[in-house]
Amino acid sequence: MGLDFIYFLTTVLVVLGVVIANTIKVLREYERGVIFTLGRFYKVKGPGLIIVIPFIQQIVKVDLRTIVMDVPTQDVISFDNVSVKVNAVIYYRVVDPQKAIINVERFMDATSQLAQTTLRSVLGKHELDEMLSERDKLNEDIQTILDRQTDGWGVKVSNVEIKHVDLDESMIRAIAKQAEAERQRRAKVIHAIGEQEAAEKLVEAANKLGEAGGAMQLRYMQTLTEIGGEQNTTVLFPMPIDLMEGLKQLTKKSS
């Protein structure tokens, strides 16, 4: 009789412990509990100590912290028909636990799948150059679309970052050739602009020399003086006709 009583008392204590464990719940500061009473939504509780009626009420815990999710690498065909591999990371959190549990099944999986399809859809509307040079704008576009579509799930997408845009080797070589051709084009344009400016300056100088009487002869003589000061053996230099006429006039006056 005494042994049966001990077994009975032990059973009662175990059942009582299970009931108490299922009745008293402690939620952390970043947790909320979605309570259902006989299958119907009752309320959202937490954080702290909450009471759940066993067998009558059920609780589903929801984490409110920001979740960092890697978007798997996606094969994307750009608007200019270039095949690239793109991966990204998204930051989101639950802002309405009721919607996150009731309106969607496994909100984390749903957000991940939506992020993958949105990434392919948005990037497919842009050319490769935009993918490489305008990531901030693309990140903002993807974040706006995701945030709008997940609003009904009680999920807030706060940020999206494209991590890598990978190209195949043939496309990398083609881009390198294009960049080299662009550098050569710019160098030729700069050289042509320099030649044009130099020609304009020479024309201006010639006009100035032509306007002033005797300026050309003085410049000519100055050039002869500079050449004569150098260590040259023989210099053949054409004699301007204007200078010869001037010398003849001086000779006639002296005679």
pLDDT digits (tens, 9 = 90+) for 11-66: 777 777 777 777 888 999 999 999 999 999 999 998 999 999 888 999 999 999 99
pTM over 0.75: no
pLDDT of 174 reads 65
The rounded distance, in Å, linking the Cα atoms of 34 and 183 is 62
pLDDT digits (tens, 9 = 90+) for 77-110: 888 888 899 999 999 999 999 999 999 999 999 9
Rounded to whole angstroms, what are the CA distances from 10 to 7, 54, 72, 82, 191? 5, 20, 52, 72, 98
Query: Does residue 253 have a pLDDT over 60?
Result: no
Q: Are 148 and 87 in contact (CB under 8 A)?
A: no
The rounded distance, in Å, linking the Cα atoms of 164 and 73 is 9
Domain boundaries, the chain: 2-63, 67-167, 170-209
- Taking Cα atoms as reference points, which of 114, 127, 129, 118 lies closest to residue 77? 127
- Taking Cα atoms as reference points, which of 71, 74, 70 lies closest to residue 83? 74
Mutual orientation of helices 215-228 and 169-211 as an angle, nearest 10°? 120
Lowest mean pLDDT segment, chosen from 46-55, 69-78, 184-193, 197-206? 197-206
Which of the listed CATH numbers 3.90.1150.10, 1.10.1240.10, 1.10.3720.10, 3.30.479.30 matches domain 67-167? 3.30.479.30
pLDDT of 231 reads 59
